Amino acid sequence: MNETKQKILDVALDLFSQNGFSAVSIRDICKVVDIKESSVYYHFKNKQAILDELLQHFESIATGLMSQLEQALTITQKTIKGNLFEQTCDCFFEKYLMDEYCNKIMRLLSIERLSNNEIQKIYNYWIFDKPLNFQTKVFSLLISIRIIKTADSKYLAVKFYAPIYLFAQRWLFCGTLTDEHKQFFRGNAYEHINNFFKEMEST
């Protein structure tokens, strides 16, 4: 991939994730990349095309990551290991919610989702529906092999995921993504996961 084009994409995402798509001008991007405005149009058809390419790249990352998690789940189905949860959560937290690229994209999505139908669909899919569906599958599996007793796996998924989503919104999608905020999130999220399973065992 062309070096300048990549730099445009990087800077654009950086600014878009801070101020939103419409609040950032081509000239803002060019000032940071240190090129003239017209040069952008050699690499991209128009401003929208920059956004499209960023989103497409995110979706390919997210798709890969989620299929990786789903694969880990089907393997577990045969050879159960206790650390499945820690593995998947760690992956979901570090390589998704707190990953520099993905985190910026999700910020951009959350700014733009109210004015852009296309983006709203992407947001709903990757931040609500897909994670909840995955978690539902996990609990269905744990129920089917009788590790936990019969229950509504869909509601279990909500109870499990909702606090994580809340902590993420509270600490990972406000202001700059500092190490301190990351630690706040990790602390809260892992405490929740521990409590969740403690309660699971006791019933």
Partner DNA sequence: TATTGTACCTAACAACCGTTAGATTGTCAA
Partner DNA sequence: TTGACAATCTAACGGTTGTTAGGTACAATA
Minimum distance between the CB of residue 15 and a copy of itself, rounded to whole angstroms?
Answer: 10
62 binds DNA (CB under 7 A): no
Smaller CB separation from DNA, 2 or 194: 2
Is 115 a binding residue for DNA by CB under 7 A? The answer is no
Q: Cβ distance 22 to 114 under 8 Å?
A: no
Q: Which is nearer to DNA, 3 or 201 (CB)?
A: 3
Q: Radius of gyration (Cα) for the chain, nearest Å?
A: 20
Measured from the CB atom, the residue of 29 and 76 that comes closer to a copy of itself is 29
**Site membership for a copy of itself, residue 102 (CB under 8 A):** no
Q: Taking CB within 5 to 8 Å according to partner kind, which of DNA, a copy of itself, none is near residue 103?
A: none
The burial of 159, by beta-carbon neighbours within 10 Å (0-12 exposed, 13-18 middle, 19 or more buried), is given as middle
Distances from the Cα of 183 to the Cα of 168, 177, 189, angstroms: 11, 10, 10
Contact 144, 138 (CB under 8 A): no
Count of C-beta atoms within a 10 Å radius of residue 6: 11
* Position 150 contacts a copy of itself (CB under 8 A): no
Q: Which is nearer to a copy of itself, 141 or 172 (CB)?
A: 172
Give the span between the Cα atoms of 162 and 139, in whole angstroms: 15
Where does this chain touch a copy of itself (CB under 8 A) — which range of 29-37, 47-55, 115-123, 139-147? 115-123
The nearer residue to a copy of itself, 33 or 131, going by C-beta atoms, is 131
Q: Which stretch binds DNA (CB under 7 A): 38-46, 86-94, 151-159, 194-202?
A: 38-46
Out of 7, 181, 186, 192, which residue is the one contacting a copy of itself (CB under 8 A)?
A: 192
For 29-53, b/e burial (b = at least 16 CB within 10 A) is bbeebebeeeebeebbeebeebbeb
Segment near a copy of itself (CB under 8 A); pick from 53-61, 67-75, 80-88, 112-120: 112-120
CA pair distance 168, 109, nearest whole angstrom = 14
- Tally of residues, the chain: 203
- Residue with Cβ nearer a copy of itself (30 or 200): 200
Binder among 14, 18, 32, 47 for DNA (CB under 7 A): 47
